[in-house]
Structure 1
Amino acid sequence: MTLSIRLDPELEAELARAAAQTGRSKSELVKAGLREYLARVVPKQTPYELGKDLFGGPQGGPADLAERRKEYLAESLRAKHDR
């Protein structure tokens, strides 16, 4: 993908100097800087964060769910069937 940006003259000069000093292209430096910025500002979500709205929580279910899981499952299935 091609992206055009406008830089002020000072920033453009700094970018050109950095590219010459490092032997990398201006595009490479801009892409690397953008990657670093995005990693800090928009961190990748963990698998839990991606699905947390789908998971139950400590206050989300009955206290005896572990002991009565089969009963709760049967009730849930009956309720879906009866709709």
Structure 2
Amino acid sequence: MISVRLPEDLEKKLNQLAESENVTKTYLVKEALNKYIAEKETKKDSYQLGQDLFGKHGSNKGELSTTYKKRVSDKIHEKYSG
């Protein structure tokens, strides 16, 4: 059992909605909480949201971010050695 204090305007809206939907306030509050909790439980983090986009337009060379210093060094050496 839980008791909740609502601002007057929110309680008024809840009363009106319960009356117009012909359901109890308790039912509406339970439904709202269930939807809120379900949304939070299925909320994806930023990686999950962009996972299908990562590497989509890549070079298919997975080591580029770890070998960039060597590649830059090779390019500089190539430019000035020939």
TM-score by length of structure 1 reads 0.49
- Greater Cα radius of gyration, structure 1 or 2: 2
TM-score normalised according to structure 2 size: 0.50
